Structure 1
Amino acid sequence: MRLFGLVWVVMVAFAANSVLNRAAVGAGLIEPVAFGVIRLWAGAVMLAGLCVVLRGGLRLGGAGRVGGVMGLLAYIFGFSYAYVALPSGLGALILFGMVQVTMFGGSLLAGDRPHLLRWLGAGMAFAGLAWLVQSPGVSLMGPKGQIGPALFMVIAGVGWGIYSLAGRKAEDALASTAANFVIAAPLALLVMGGDPGAMTRGGVVLAVVSGAVTSGLGYALWYAVLPRLEASVAAVAQLTVPLIAALGGVLFLGEALTLKFVTASVVILGGVALSVLGPRYFTRDSKGS
């Protein structure tokens, strides 16, 4: 029961990143780049502190570091810009779907030969995403050829997918995540270019909470409970994040829950579940028969 409670806390923390980001940049309390920079720095400080306490120090080297840092930067800033316009749950759903599609593509490039159910699941998730971004106000491209909010979230999803693929090489997930944040934080200042833009105290507070608490502490807690979970349980738990984010948007931001979002959630998350869990159960049944 205690383990279930910890997993639930982590999933709420992950979903809260969407609600916090949307509440801050969507309401104009802070510019997207400034939110991303502050979130990175707050996360870096929290994760570095945890590594000093729990690991006795922080090591910045390691396999997959370049891919991890670049993927993290793409995720952070794509995420921030997307929530200028996207509702919380919708953004989380696009992000989650693109992460899974990116990781599937990465496994192909690495020479893996996925099970047929993984192909079907990935195709189902991608089809759901393609249908979802055709919704009114969820455009990939904005006026005058500018990047639209949905495309920013696609970029964020690809970035987090790359980050996750790079993280497979890490021997210590918490230490690797801390190193990625610590290296990415000063690089993020280059993106800001010395001009943070408009900021309010409320926007800064939301960015700090997103970085230090729902990202930093959230990731640390997840990596602590992950070894105690079966892979299938961890995968199913993560399927709840877009739904929790949608509920948070409805409760705290007054966002609408549309029939198209619910339908797309079933298609996309169903495809992800099929891709992640299907081959496992198929193999298990084959061995048992």
Structure 2
Amino acid sequence: MSRPRVFILTLLAMLAFAGNSLLCRVALKSTGIDAASFTSIRIISGAIALWLIVRLRRGPHDLSGSWPSALALFAYAAAFSFSYVSLSAATGALLLFGAVQATMIGVGLWRGERLRGRQMAGLACALGGLVGLLLPGLSAPPLLGSALMLVAGVAWGVYSLRGRGSGDPLRVTAGNFLRAVVFAAVLSGVTLSWASLDRSGVGYAMASGALASGVGYAVWYTALVGLKMTSAATVQLSVPVIAAVGGIVLLGEPVTLRLVIASAAILGGIALVIVDRQRAG
């Protein structure tokens, strides 16, 4: 695969992943849709898009995946949606990314991995940035929304770890999305009396599921063929930055000094851990 194609595919995937934060935030802030309905429509739309992609591409058409992974996927999507009722796009994306990486690093340590000096410094820097972001104060993000996004990050970290070495990632993801529809249906049934829908909100949810999630994952898995492990890990650091810029430009969200400092500490610290780990490997 040529370098220009890899670059374009990677850029499109990062824009799609950041787009999930922007679409969810604008839907829950500016339309009448509720978080549970957004979650269900996103999962259903993603399942349909991924099923179609698997059916249309070359190779096996059967879906794989597992129910535990589907539950982790659903937990991520639900907590993600409910957190964006109160969080800004930038803060949510930063907390999500930090929690995902912390979960994966923590599991690695539990399994016997050891961090070297620079990796320890990077981890301490990232954790310090996360604590600084959440400390009480006028510019601190809402506690409940922050807690829900951290749950979403842990769930996505678990989902990512379960997906390692499980086969064709696109067929696995499609199968997990399809299974997650069952959990989404249960959520919609439980919250039916609070359900609220409008055309714009449904449209944003469908775009989040079909385009930012379904097509985004397909593009990302294609780009991974041409990326080194270190590049694949570090390029994802751009997602919170893209979400922050999008939130400022498109949604008019404010920029606080706390968010800027926390972003530098969290992203810089995680980058140090990832790059040094891959070099050591």
Task: Check whether TM > 0.5.
Answer: yes
Q: Report the secondary structure of 1:113's partner residue.
A: coil
TM-score by length of 1: 0.89
Q: CA deviation at 1:119?
A: 3.1
Q: Partner of 2:61 in structure 1? A: 57
Mapped pair 1:206 → 2:209: no
Report the count of equivalent residues: 273
Pairing 1:72-221 to 2, within 5 Å after superposition: 72-134=73-135, 135-136=137-138, 137-140=140-143, 148-193=144-189, 195=192, 197-221=195-219
Counterpart amino acid of residue 48 in structure 1: W
Q: Report the secondary structure of 1:26's partner residue.
A: helix
Q: Partner of 1:258 in structure 2? A: 256
Q: Deviations over 1:209-258 (max 9, x none)?
A: 00000110000000011021011211221111001001111111111122
| Aligned with residue 5 of structure 2, among 2, 9, 29 | 2
Counterpart amino acid of residue 226 in structure 1: L
Identity %: 40
Q: Deviations over 1:14-66 (max 9, x none)?
A: 101000000001224210010000000000001111112223422235xxx24
Aligned counterparts of 1:71 and 1:82: Cα–Cα separation in 2:
16
**Tell me, which stretches of 5 or more residues in structure 2 are unaligned?**
none
Aligned counterparts of 1:103 and 1:271: Cα–Cα separation in 2:
14
Q: Partner of 1:11 in structure 2? A: 14
- Contact 1:17/1:214 (8 A) holds in 2: yes
Q: CA deviation at 1:69?
A: 1.3
Aligned counterparts of 1:123 and 1:191: Cα–Cα separation in 2:
37
TM-score by length of 2: 0.92
Aligned counterparts of 2:276 and 2:17: Cα–Cα separation in 1:
25
- Contact 2:6/2:223 (8 A) holds in 1: yes
Mapped pair 1:31 → 2:27: no
Q: CA deviation at 1:191?
A: 1.4
Q: Report the secondary structure of 2:30's partner residue.
A: coil
Q: CA deviation at 1:118?
A: 3.2
Q: CA deviation at 1:67?
A: 3.6
Aligned counterparts of 1:79 and 1:8: Cα–Cα separation in 2:
23
RMSD value over aligned CA atoms? 1.7
Q: CA deviation at 1:99?
A: 0.2
Aligned counterparts of 2:177 and 2:235: Cα–Cα separation in 1:
24
Aligned counterparts of 1:73 and 1:273: Cα–Cα separation in 2:
28
- Contact 1:15/1:92 (8 A) holds in 2: yes
Q: CA deviation at 1:205?
A: 0.3
Q: Deviations over 1:152-178 (max 9, x none)?
A: 100100011001111113111111111
Q: Report the secondary structure of 1:84's partner residue.
A: coil
Q: CA deviation at 1:200?
A: 0.6
Aligned counterparts of 1:116 and 1:37: Cα–Cα separation in 2:
44
Aligned counterparts of 2:44 and 2:34: Cα–Cα separation in 1:
16
Mapped pair 1:20 → 2:23: yes
Instruction: Using the TM superposition, name which of 48-57 and 228-237 deviates more.
Output: 48-57
